[in-house]
Structure 1
């Protein structure tokens, strides 16, 4: 079985979004960008990463990214960072989070919706996962 081809555009997008997320985590302390825009971008990051390295198409990749985000948020509700004994790790606390917020689920859903709409506007079809024929 052949591995799926790397999609460099998505890989570059994922790297750029990751850099933005790191900058937000390190330097932004507000009540909108870090908690909500950061969550929207987190789903876009996972989506771009999935599209870069898997054959997943637009909607399955968006749903998978949304599933990852929901799983992380539900892990926060369950206190996963502490259950794993990582409560003193700043990296684990930042990546996995420590506080459940139902509004985050809306931000994640918005992120998934944004990628589906953006791909549609770019001409990437939901079924084929590639550019629509001209």
Structure 2
């Protein structure tokens, strides 16, 4: 295990922003798309904060996690598992499939990779 305080700080800040978006944003851009971009950056930074993983694999893993969650939405995983009524799970995993979310995940992975290499770079 490693400890990268810069990545941890960014992950904590993004988590706070994501909670604020989940609680207060009721629009058609910030919550559905910007929230997805930030979620991938959050996962990337969280991985890099504690694991000995390089930036590119971390970005790819973060994208993959987002894609898996989106595919879960496509097959209605919350309903299949009977957990749609658990609010925190429903908010984190989302409830509706959208092809454009894959673009948001890719954008998040690209931004995470660029920021990691240029700003955080440790």
Query: TM (normalized to structure 1)?
Result: 0.87
Match of 2:63 in 1: 66
Task: Return the offset for 1:9.
Answer: 1.4
Listed as ranges, the matches of 1:20-59 within 5 Å are 20-59=17-56
Structure 1, 79-88 or 102-111: larger mean CA deviation: 79-88
Which structure 2 residue ranges, 5 or more long, are not aligned?
none
Deviation, 1:118, is 1.7
Which of 87, 99, 102 is the matching residue for 1:102? 99
TM-aligned CA deviation for residue 119 of structure 1:
2.4
Aligned-residue offset at 1:120: 3.0
List alignment gaps of at least 5 residues for structure 1.
Answer: 125-129
Does the 8 Å contact 2:6/2:120 carry over to 1?
A: no
RMSD over aligned CA atoms reads 1.1
TM-score for both structures, normalised by structure 2: 0.95
C-alpha deviation, 1:97, in angstroms: 0.9
- After superposing on structure 2, the runs of 4+ consecutive aligned residues of structure 1 that deviate more than 4 Å are none
Greater RCO (Cα-Cα under 8 Å, separation 6 or more): 2
2:87 alignment counterpart: 90
